[in-house]
Amino acid sequence: MQHFDLMVIGSGSGLEVSSEAAGLRLSVAIIEEGPFGGTCLNRGCIPSKMLIHCADVMDTIKTAHIFGIKATVQGIDWQAIIARAVNEVDADARAIEEGNRQADNITVFKGRGRFTGAKTLEVNGEEISAETVLIAAGTRPMVPDIPGLEDVPYITSDEALRLPEQPRRLAILGGGYIAAEMAHFFGALGTEVTLIHRGRQLLRAEDDDVARRFTEVYQRKINILLNTRISRAESRGHEIVLEVSSEGSTGEVIADGLLVATGRVPNTDLLNVAATEVEIDERGFVKTDEFLETNVPGIWALGDIVGKYLLKHSANLEAAYAGNNIFNPDSKFAVDYNAMPHAIFASPQVAGVGLTEREAIEQGIDFAVASYDYLDTAYGSSIEDRDGFVKVLAERHSGEILGAHIIGTDASILIQEVVNAMRAGLNVRSITQSIYVHPALPEVVQRAFGELEL
């Protein structure tokens, strides 16, 4: 049995810790079943955003007439669109793996690992062990229990980003950010999309006003079935037939493809984490303390498999803390998750940070809330964004910024100034008293804060 100082399971953000360990001349084992780089590089944020940008370009062309420009699309090259993302992602993954294979003090084990004990792992028929273990093996798409689904050629987000042919009709099951982004990508490029969601509106994790506006916009763009469940799935020739029910009525949705986008589950079962006696929660995510150590001394975890935030920037943040806490046990720091932002690269974009209005009410906070429409700013009017708005919350007396929620053009960019202010401990005045370029889009953020009655 080979023994190492550190064992890192997963080649996403965990590589930040393995690299630090190797630099300290510790022996490191990296266990990875698939391509290096983790979910973000291979099956998530990087390829999806490269593809979604193509949809954004198509949206620009389709709305060009609003600005007096006559533009038409002669066609799309689906294979070129997919190849552009796949080739770049695969090249990066190969480079990361090769870099680790050539690095001093690092041994790469390519295969699925399964724990056989607290700090022992079996991979490719070989058992290895380590003094310290970092579990960073992420999550995978969740597949709901629907009668007949196992016999239907459905896809998840893993396969959706590498489809060799564009589906003519695509049913998407889900109502969260993955479903929203995929509906934008396929729909904008000409696929007839039907989005099936069991809830009353999309993006239920967002602020209610944002979720409501987003749902309204999407209902104008694609076919959405809300409050709807799939009771059965079956294949009929080359078609997929879904039996659906909604508020007592039943019907069928017929499509050429089915994309299941109903969330993600941790890979703790595949790793047989139970053999380590590490505690997991009711959803299967690894439990850690504020320093990212589990209940078993010397076993740590970070990233999606922890389930705090399923975001790459959160995993990167955790990796920095994990590295410090593992290698400097006398100077450990609790992870500072304050002002963790997120963004949805749909059309329109959505971004948020901090508390939603619903959460502020539930916590009994005395807060002020205000909104400002894009259209009421000079730049928002010039780009004809009639759906976008910024909503902000602050503690009524201190002016502490509690949250911000944006739907509209460049929401993923506009949220950053609020994140920076919150991370720095600044209050509302830091935004309202700043000087903004006129007439630039960020004015909508300043004006939203200016509407607060503190």
Q: Is the pLDDT of residue 330 over 90?
A: yes
Amino acid of residue 231: S
pLDDT for 62 equals 95
Whether residue 276 has pLDDT greater than 90: yes
State the pTM of this model: 0.96
Q: Is residue 302 part of a domain?
A: yes
- 241 sits in which H/E element: strand 239-246
Q: Is 248's pLDDT higher than 90?
A: no
User: What is the tens place of the pLDDT at every residue in 138-176?
Assistant: 999 999 999 999 999 999 999 999 999 999 999 999 999
The answer as to whether 406 is a domain residue is yes
Place of tokens 């995510």: 285
Please check whether residue 332 lies inside any domain of the structure: no
Q: Structural domain of residue 377, as residue ranges? A: 342-450
CA dihedral 254, 255, 257, 263 (to 10 degrees): -60
- E strand segments, 280-388: 299-301, 342-344, 350-354, 367-373
In a domain, 21, yes or no: yes
Same domain, yes or no: 157 and 258 = yes
Cis preceding-peptide flag for 439 (omega within 30 of 0): yes
User: Do 133 and 273 fall into the same domain?
Assistant: yes
Q: What rounded mean pLDDT belongs to the chain?
A: 97
Write out pLDDT tens, residues 332-385: 999 999 999 999 999 999 999 999 999 999 999 999 999 999 999 999 999 999
Residues 85 and 222 in one domain: no
Of 273, 300, 327, which residue constitutes the final position of a domain? Answer: 327
- 362 with 430, same domain: the answer is yes
Task: Single out the residue in 327, 350, 367 at which a domain terminates.
Answer: 327
Residue 65 has pLDDT above 90, yes or no: yes
Q: Total domain count for the chain?
A: 3
Mean pLDDT of 81-98: 97
Rounded distance between C-alpha atoms, residue 88 and residue 261, angstroms:
24
Residues 177 and 275 in one domain: no
pLDDT class for 292, splitting at 50, 70, 90?
very high
| pLDDT for the residue 172 | 98
**183 and 254 fall within a common domain:** yes
Looking up residue 50, the CATH number of its domain turns out to be 3.50.50.60
Do 293 and 379 fall into the same domain? no
Query: Within a domain: residue 337?
Result: no
15 & 128 share domain: yes
Both 6 and 124 in one domain: the answer is yes
Is residue 418 assigned to a domain?
Answer: yes
Query: Which CATH number is 435's domain given?
Result: 3.30.390.30
Active-site residues, by number, are 438
Burial class (CB in 10 A: 0-12, 13-18, 19+), 70: exposed
Which of the four pLDDT bands, split at 50, 70 and 90, describes residue 320? very high
CB 395 within 8 A of CB 433: no
The answer as to whether 334 is a domain residue is no
Rounded Cα–Cα distance for residues 214 and 388 (Å) = 9
Are 235 and 252 within 8 A, CB to CB?
A: no
Q: Which of 205, 228, 262 is the last residue of a domain?
A: 262
pLDDT band at residue 247 under the 50/70/90 scheme: confident
